[in-house]
């Protein structure tokens, strides 16, 4: 299996598997206990890894979210807790979500493979990946460690995909309406969704570019290791 094929085969699982804690209502119930309003825990926790930066830095890193929504949440959450503490609390939800995954998976292998990819990957154009990789890693449970590292790779893929979308001339909203129109409001966009038909060809080109860019990072593994990585992720995505 080539690096680009591995990137293509894992594209859905790499987004959905490590991000389960982000869609879990328990995550936001916990955020409410901490003092966050609504979905502000998402912005403060995910963006908090970047440090105490201006709101524009967070909106730039989030790419697909409506800037005004991100900025409002970032400002609103400033007094709840320090940015580093919010990032730590957010990362801690990975542990909570790990209980929902099957134990009979080769978690040590998945942690090792994802760790090798992350350790060798470039930070260029991927600030949230760089920020997540700088966070302390859980070392007491291979299941939690694997999910933590996979979330870093999700941030890496997301950054590369954002760059690919922009370079083919699509706006974030135009990309969302092609792939996940049901998420338009979740991402904070209030505009009337455009017709996706004119954007599908460019979106497919952006996906191919994402596979190519992410595949470069998968080259640190040999062909058999890439197949194992794909198979393990596929098991978790079913």
Residues contacting residue 148 through CB under 8 Å, at least 6 positions apart: 91, 94, 137, 138
Give pLDDT, residue 197: 96
Render pLDDT for 133-184 as a digit per residue (tens, 0 to 9): 999 999 889 999 999 999 999 999 999 999 999 999 999 999 999 999 999 9
CB 44 within 8 A of CB 75: no
Q: Which of 149, 168, 74 is nearest to 108 (CA)?
A: 149
CB 12 within 8 A of CB 220: no
Give pLDDT, residue 54: 97
Q: Which of 85, 87, 27, 26 is nearest to 58 (CA)?
A: 87
Per the document, the length of the chain is 238
Give pLDDT, residue 192: 85
Render pLDDT for 176-207 as a digit per residue (tens, 0 to 9): 999 999 999 999 999 888 999 999 999 999 99
Give pLDDT, residue 191: 85
Render pLDDT for 58-75 as a digit per residue (tens, 0 to 9): 999 999 999 999 999 999
Give yes or no for residue 83 having a pLDDT over 70.
yes
Give yes or no for residue 238 having a pLDDT over 80.
no
CB atoms within 10 A of CB 64: 19
Rounded Cα–Cα distance for residues 62 and 157 (Å): 12
């Amino acid at each position: 299996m080539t690096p680009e094929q591995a990137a293509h085969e894992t594209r859905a699982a790499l987004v959905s598997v490590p991000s389960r804690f982000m869609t879990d209502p328990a995550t936001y119930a916990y955020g409410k206990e901490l003092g966050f309003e609504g979905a502000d825990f998402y912005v403060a926790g995910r963006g908090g890894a970047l440090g105490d930066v201006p709101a524009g830095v967070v909106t730039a890193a989030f790419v697909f979210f409506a800037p005004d929504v991100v900025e409002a949440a970032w400002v609103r959450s400033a007094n709840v807790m320090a940015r580093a503490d919010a990032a730590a609390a957010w990362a801690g939800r990975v542990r909570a979500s790990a209980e929902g995954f099957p134990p009979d998976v080769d978690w040590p292998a998945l942690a090792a493979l994802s760790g090798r990819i992350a350790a060798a990957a470039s930070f260029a154009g991927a600030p949230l990946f760089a920020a997540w990789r700088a966070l302390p890693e859980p070392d007491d449970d291979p299941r939690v460690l694997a999910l933590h590292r996979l979330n870093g790779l999700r941030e890496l893929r997301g950054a590369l995909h954002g760059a690919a979308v922009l370079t083919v001339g699509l706006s974030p909203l135009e990309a969302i309406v092609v792939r996940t129109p049901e998420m338009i409001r979740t991402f904070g966009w209030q505009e009337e969704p455009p017709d996706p038909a004119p954007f599908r060809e460019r979106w497919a080109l952006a996906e191919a570019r994402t596979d190519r860019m992410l595949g470069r990072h998968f080259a640190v593994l040999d062909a058999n290791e890439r197949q194992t990585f794909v198979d393990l992720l596929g098991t978790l995505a079913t």
